[in-house]
A = this chain, B = another copy of it.
Amino acid sequence: MLNTFGSVFRLTSFGESHGNGIGGVIDGCPSGLELDMDFIQAELDKRKPGSTQAGLAGTNRKEADKVQFLSGVYEGKTTGTSLAFFVENTNQKSQDYSQMVNSYRPGHGDRTYDEKYGFRDPRGGGRASARETVARVVGGAVAQLYLKNVGINVIAYTEALDGIYAKDFGEIDLEQCEKRMFFAPNDAVIPHWQKRIEEVRKDLDTLGGVVSIEAHGVPAGLGEPVFQKLDAYLSYALMGVGAVKAVEIGAGTKAARSRGSQNNDAMYYDGGKLYYRSNNAGGIEGGISNGQPILLKASVKPIPSVAKEQKTVSRQGENITLSIGGRHDICAIPRIVPVLKAMTAIALTDMFLLQKRMGMEKRETVF
């Protein structure tokens, strides 16, 4: 298993859903960064089941996830050495999942893990569990602290739930979105989403949606031109989160249906400064950031654990039916939102440091 993400700012993740806990080691974090523990814990709280933002979509499980740093910090600041952290598992009941051990749940990785490894961790998915994302959110919170210092701000919000788009009910307001229920970008859409969730829950079904992630303040120049283009790398980061089935940059799929003269973002100078008239590029041209906001979209599939009866198969090769109860979410959104934000922040920090350290040919020319 490849448990490390990043080339300069590197997160190595460890831990299982039903073991001692989840942790990670961040290597390559610059020294002197103030490690704001309240911010880190607050980011981690956002992915908790039952958080305010989870609204009615979440489960009732209570997880008291408290992050603790084991190394790399001195008097509240990073020392530039490896930064290890740990989040203890306090409320993991293996038995909840026990009945699923011998069936392959549709839409999960049950069968593919079995094909790959020849065994399945009987304890709630092990490394395949969404609980592994705890390490990503902590790593992403550290990355965000670094990015804030260099003027970059990453924001994530729910754009649509089951085809209901927030923008059809009001303005997109980024200021408060991470405090609203569902990480909604306006208040008006919330009752519509609540109503739909209730309906789907009654149907014993689940639903998906679209998450937008934006990064403001990214300077021009991030991204390597041939194989580590900024858009390719961000796509790798987001598509690596379970349940994501599509990643779009800027105009995304719409670009395929527009003309060059429309899709191009015209530039102009005003008062000696360069501006763009649009942002169909999503802040990235030729694989390199252009100084405009980075705009990303992730399409999130419905949670595959439906209470409705499904036809499937057992490990032993029988055709069976299955209805999945237990304490599952009905939608990966909103809990996936802080995870997608975290991965964006980690990837941007890595590319920022790579640019700062490796790619600045402008400053790295010999003379």
Contacts and interface: CB of A to CB of B under 8 A. Distances in A.
Interface stretch (A9-17, A49-57, A167-175): A9-17
A67 interface: no
Interface residues of A, number: 155
Interface string A110-145: 111101111101010011100010000000000000
A36 to B, nearest CB: 12
Contacts of A162: 257, 259
A81 interface: yes
23 contacts: A1-B81, A2-B27, A2-B224, A8-B358, A13-B226, A20-B71, A30-B366, A31-B365, A74-B123, A111-B290, A116-B361, A146-B366, A208-B258, A210-B253, A210-B256, A236-B239, A260-B308, A263-B302, A264-B304, A267-B311, A269-B313, A269-B318, A274-B317
A209 B256 contact: yes
A13 B235 contact: no
Copies in the complex: 4
Interface string A231-246: 1110111011010111
Contacts of A312: 266-268
A3 interface: yes
Interface stretch (A39-47, A100-108, A187-195): A100-108
A356 B116 CA distance: 11
A313 B3 contact: no
A23 B68 CA distance: 14
Contact of A19 (B71, B237, B245, B263): B71
B267 A31 contact: no
Contacts of A32: 365-367
Contact of A247 (B237, B247, B359): B247
